[in-house]
Amino acid sequence: MERVLVVDDEIHVVRLLQNYLASKKYDVYTATSGLEAIQKVKDMSPHIVLLDIIMPGMGGIETMQEIKKINPKIVVTMVTAIIDEELAKRTLQLGADDYIVKPLDLKFIGAYVTVKMVQLLG
Q: How far apart are alpha carbons 19 and 119 in whole angstroms?
A: 23
Q: Which domains does the chain have, with CATH numbers?
A: 3-114 (3.40.50.2300)
pLDDT in tens, 75-103: 999 998 877 888 888 899 999 999 998 88
pLDDT in tens, 45-72: 999 999 999 999 999 999 999 999 999 9
pLDDT band with cut points at 50, 70 and 90 for residue 116: very high
Reply yes or no on whether the pLDDT at 120 is more than 80: yes
CB of 51 closer than 8 Å to CB of 61: no
pLDDT band with cut points at 50, 70 and 90 for residue 22: very high
Q: Give the pLDDT score at 79.
A: 92
Share of the chain above pLDDT 70, in %: 100
Q: Give the pLDDT score at 32.
A: 97
Instruction: State the chain's mean pLDDT as an integer.
Output: 95
Strand ranges inside the chain, DSSP E: 3-7, 27-31, 48-52, 75-80, 98-101
Q: Give the pLDDT score at 87.
A: 85
The answer to pTM > 0.85 is: yes
CB of 91 closer than 8 Å to CB of 64: yes
How many Å from the N-terminal Cα to the C-terminal Cα in the chain? 13
Residue 101 DSSP SS3: strand
